[in-house]
């Protein structure tokens, strides 16, 4: 079993739709949960991070963490064609990661105009 | 943030040869990291490159296959040695910077897309 599982998609939605991206994990020691966005031919860039359980909102993006279920989600409201990218969840046990980020496979999202 | 460049951006290589990938950061950092992103697979940490000491390799990765240099605080190289088609992948370097009161963010370079024939 992989430490982090993520549905690879691809996921195709019409512009304006609400998108839900999810990851499950097995390591209960994970405390920091990140979502990265990766455009084609580019490196991943951090969208949001959350510490422990709870919700965090940033504009059209909302990250949710449910540690009891070992389940995290990223919601994108009013999706735009510019949101088309691969979304990677990542997790670590401490803030001083020392590179120890564990990634999901990534979900490829396409938002159609 | 951090500005990270990698060279080459892509390459096509023959089986049995080696390729050295360069990573340059816009300011000094203590640790630099090398990741591999294989098609359909998770981004996986290969090793951590510390200036002035040997790199630390993750399980499944060895120095003979992926030698790393870190001559100064802004530069590192990763060599993929004796390549086989299974080494076809995107290789990314990253650095860690404190961006929040309790969080170190990782910034990634654009990656080097390697195809081995």
CA–CA dist A73, B50 (Å, integer): 34
Which residues 48-107 on chain A approach chain B with CB closer than 8 angstroms?
Answer: 49, 51, 88, 90, 95-106
Interface of B with A (CB under 8 A): 4, 31, 33, 40-45, 48, 92, 94, 96, 102-111, 113
- Give the rounded percent of residues in chain A with a pLDDT score beyond 90: 73
Residue B111's CB: how many other CB atoms inside 10 A?
A: 23
What pLDDT is recorded for position A9?
A: 81
Output the CA–CA distances (angstroms, integers) from residue B111 to A58, A80, B64, B86, in the order listed. Answer: 27, 26, 22, 17
Contact A96, B105 (CB under 8 A): no
Give contacts of B44 with chain A, Cβ < 8 Å. Answer: 103
Q: Band of the pLDDT at A101, cuts 50, 70, 90?
A: confident
pLDDT < 50 regions, chain B: none
- Give the rounded percent of residues in chain A with a pLDDT score beyond 70: 95
* B47, closest residue in chain A (CA to CA): A99
Q: Band of the pLDDT at A97, cuts 50, 70, 90?
A: low
């Amino acid at each position: 079993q992989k430490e982090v599982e993520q549905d690879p998609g691809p996921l195709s939605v019409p512009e304006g739709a609400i998108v839900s991206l999810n990851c499950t994990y097995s390591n209960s020691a994970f405390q920091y949960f990140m979502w990265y966005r990766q455009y084609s031919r580019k490196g991943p860039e951090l969208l949001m991070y959350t510490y422990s359980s709870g919700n965090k909102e940033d504009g059209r993006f909302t990250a949710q963490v449910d540690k009891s279920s070992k389940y995290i989600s990223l919601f994108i409201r009013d999706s735009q064609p510019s949101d088309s990218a691969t979304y990677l969840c990542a997790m670590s046990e401490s803030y001083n990661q020392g590179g120890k980020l564990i990634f999901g496979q990534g979900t490829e999202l396409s938002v159609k105009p | 943030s951090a500005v990270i460049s990698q060279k080459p951006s892509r390459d096509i290589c023959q089986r049995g040869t080696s390729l050295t990938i360069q990573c340059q950061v816009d300011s000094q950092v203590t640790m630099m990291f090398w990741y591999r992103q294989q098609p359909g697979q998770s981004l996986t940490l290969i090793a951590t490159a510390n200036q002035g000491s040997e790199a630390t390799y993750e399980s499944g990765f060895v120095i003979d296959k992926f030698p790393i240099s870190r001559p100064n605080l802004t530069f590192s190289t990763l060599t993929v040695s004796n390549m086989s088609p299974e080494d076809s992948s995107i290789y990314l370097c990253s650095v860690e910077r404190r961006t929040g009161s309790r969080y170190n963010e990782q910034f990634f370079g654009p990656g080097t897309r390697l195809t081995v024939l």
